Structure 1
Amino acid sequence: MAQDAIADQVVRFLDHLTVERGAAPNTVTSYRRDLQRYSSYLGARGIHELTEVTEDDVREFLIELRRGDPDAGVVALADSSIARTLVATRRFHKFAAEEGIVAVDVAHGVRPPRAARRLPKSLPVDEVLAILEAASSGDHPRALRDRALLELLYSCGARISEATSLDVDDIDLEHRAVLLRGKGGKQRLVPVGGPAAAAVDAYLVRGRPALVSRAQAALFLNARGGRLSRQSAWQVLVTAAERAGLDKAVSPHTLRHSFATHLLDGGADVRVVQELLGHASVTTTQVYTLVTVNTMREVYSTAHPRAR
């Protein structure tokens, strides 16, 4: 059959990878799977020779991989899998051109699809408040520290590394401001909300003195009197979320995302939020506007009588 010509060329290419390139067995197996899918796609379009393939055919192949076919039980591939398949396809076409099987490498200009833009996960205000409340369990020094840490993370939108690297002198409770050191050594002065300032003050007065065992500049201390680690700070949040009864995964970045989303929901300008988050570009911050637009769309579709 004519269609076997492409299959034979795939076998020839895989032999080339194995013998001449010394490719790992797993790589060859992966390429074989991807190229079998590609050759089946070409055959279904009536293309039986590589000389008949165009750049548009390669692009359409990627679109089909992303779309899938629910009726035929074909699952859509993730962007990472599509990009991997394209690598195999491009190498195959490059090999065919170098071997003189085709005159032109039609896959040369095809680029992998952009990864889907993942929206940051944020929590509703009531769930954030529940986590903050769950962090408190009396006047125990660590409980005071945990509440102060989580209040500050949510109040300032700080990264976990920024919070754990804080020294006592970095926070000004009188003027309710904190100096955060972000990526690339950049510094920014961020306002501190009233509840967060009160929680930090309570920790400094009644909690930290019981934890500190030697001269230590760090604001947040562990049980041995040293600087609290990022891993331990992460566990503080996870424990509080479990106590609050949340059945979803949370991370310190969840509070940062919630901080940004709640500000924008409240009418804050995106450039102000950019400065508060310490983003170098407003483009990075604008992903949060997609979250709020999605929220508005959901409210509209459920509340407006003519939305559907």
Structure 2
Amino acid sequence: MSSTNNNQNFTYGKSNKPQNLLLQEHKFIQHCKSIENQLPEYLEDFFLYLKSSVALTTRQAYLEDVLFFFRYLVEHTKLVHASLVSEIPLSDLQAITAKDINRYLGDYCTHYVVDEESSQKIVENQNRSLSRKKSSLSVLFKFLFREGLMEKNITDGFNPIKLPKPQPDAIKRLEIEEIEELLQLVDTGHLFTKKEKSFWEKTKFRDKAIIMLFITYGLRISELQQLNLSSFNFRRMEFKIYRKRGKEVEMPLNHTTKTVIDEYIQLERPKSMELEPEHSDALFLSLQKKRMTVRSIRNLIKKYTALVLKTDVKKGYSPHKLRATAATTLIARGFSVYDVQNLLDHDNITTTQLYAAHRKNVKKEIISNFEWTEESDESD
């Protein structure tokens, strides 16, 4: 890959991935390298280990957590004798104990202040965030022990962090009647104000195609945002997506989805020749004729679902809840959890089983059909 100018136009070779995905990965890689440059040189083999063993987004998250921990050592403790993160000697790191990590996670990370340009922000981490930070440090210190850079595996002494067990009742998703109202809204715009309706008129075919892909396939927001015109083969009735770890997957098209996407392309989407090269292949475009961002897609879905749920836009449902909607709807229509797991790309079948367990009014159904007296049975 070679740069052709300062506006980040690239020439790509030896890859079947679309250019937008390659550019996105390039940005992730550059960010990872910028973090690595701030850390001590003796962690170079650890960087190579992450590069080859985890997904790019996970690699970035681990590096950010490690950098955050090292900054904590420099700025808030007497555990190291350096004024810069990059200058922390290996001997200081070797002296770190499990007790030090437990204090970091259980005390500092639960509540701290971040200095911003003109203000300060208070950050509070709950157990899920603390668990991720613990996981990042566990990976680091296990690697150092395995490589002989630490005498003991201190991770055995890390305090457990209890995470709440996922409950089916906690799953938020749209019910069938709400899905029907959502589709009616995107078709008619009947719940929008006059001003909102003027914008809806310009994007209604795009919005319907986005919603249809979410509720039919349960796509992740990143999978949808990355879609291109070239992702679709209408003759073969399929389209290509890139899942976690860059896994390429061919998805079948049904006629409903094909129709709404074709309508959007033919009736609303600007022609590719009218667009900047960077966005000419992007499927979903903003009114500024640029590829929609993850944030703009999320805001769009929250706007529509808030109207359907009759709530504030901040309480509207995210695209991930439309993913849950797709899963529970498919299972309710008789598809097996294994088929749904395959369609949604769940790593673990227990995730899919949560959706299978989630049925509306299940407690009421059980009790109403479980009477102890004949009178109750006869009254029914």
TM-score range, shorter chain: 0.5 to 0.7
Unaligned runs of at least 5 residues, structure 1: 1-17, 31-78, 85-107
Aligned length: 218
**2:186 aligned with 1:125:** no
User: CA offsets, 1:236-260, max 9 Å, x none?
Assistant: 1122123335335300011110101
**2:369 aligned with 1:304:** yes
**2:246 aligned with 1:190:** no
What is the SS of the residue equivalent to 1:189? strand
**2:342 aligned with 1:278:** no
What is the SS of the residue equivalent to 1:255? helix
Instruction: Write the distance in 1 (CA, Å) between the matches of 2:341 and 2:235.
Output: 25
In the TM superposition, residue 162 of structure 1 has moved relative to its aligned partner by 0.5
**2:290 aligned with 1:239:** no
What is the SS of the residue equivalent to 2:269? helix
What residue number does 1:199 align with? Answer: 260
User: CA offsets, 1:150-171, max 9 Å, x none?
Assistant: 1111111111110110011212
Instruction: Write the distance in 2 (CA, Å) between the matches of 1:250 and 1:20.
Output: 45
In the TM superposition, residue 146 of structure 1 has moved relative to its aligned partner by 0.7
CA RMSD in angstroms comes to 3.8
Over the matched positions of the two proteins, sequence identity in percent amounts to 23
In the TM superposition, residue 261 of structure 1 has moved relative to its aligned partner by 0.6
Classify 1:195/1:169 alpha carbon distance in 2 versus 1 (closer, same or farther; 3 Å): same
What is the SS of the residue equivalent to 1:244? helix
In the TM superposition, residue 289 of structure 1 has moved relative to its aligned partner by 2.2
What residue number does 1:116 align with? Answer: 165
What residue number does 2:269 align with? Answer: 208
Query: Which of 147-156 and 211-220 deviates more?
Result: 211-220
TM-score by length of 1: 0.59
2:201 to 121, 128, 140: 140
Report the AA paired with residue 132 of structure 1: L
1:249 to 316, 334, 346: 316
In the TM superposition, residue 270 of structure 1 has moved relative to its aligned partner by 1.2
Instruction: Write the distance in 2 (CA, Å) between the matches of 1:19 and 1:221.
Output: 49
Instruction: Write the distance in 1 (CA, Å) between the matches of 2:272 and 2:298.
Output: 19
In the TM superposition, residue 175 of structure 1 has moved relative to its aligned partner by 4.2
User: CA offsets, 1:86-136, max 9 Å, x none?
Assistant: xxxxxxxxxxxxxxxxxxxxxx79844442214432211111221222223
Instruction: Write the distance in 1 (CA, Å) between the matches of 2:77 and 2:286.
Output: 57
Structure 2 contact 219–323 (Cα < 8 Å) conserved: yes
Classify 1:305/1:111 alpha carbon distance in 2 versus 1 (closer, same or farther; 3 Å): same
Query: Which of 176-185 and 245-254 deviates more?
Result: 245-254
Instruction: Write the distance in 2 (CA, Å) between the matches of 1:302 and 1:135.
Output: 38
Structure 2 contact 228–282 (Cα < 8 Å) conserved: yes
Structure 1 contact 188–278 (Cα < 8 Å) conserved: no
1:181 to 235, 238, 242: 242
Instruction: Write the distance in 1 (CA, Å) between the matches of 2:262 and 2:235.
Output: 10
Instruction: Write the distance in 1 (CA, Å) between the matches of 2:325 and 2:78.
Output: 53
What is the SS of the residue equivalent to 1:123? coil
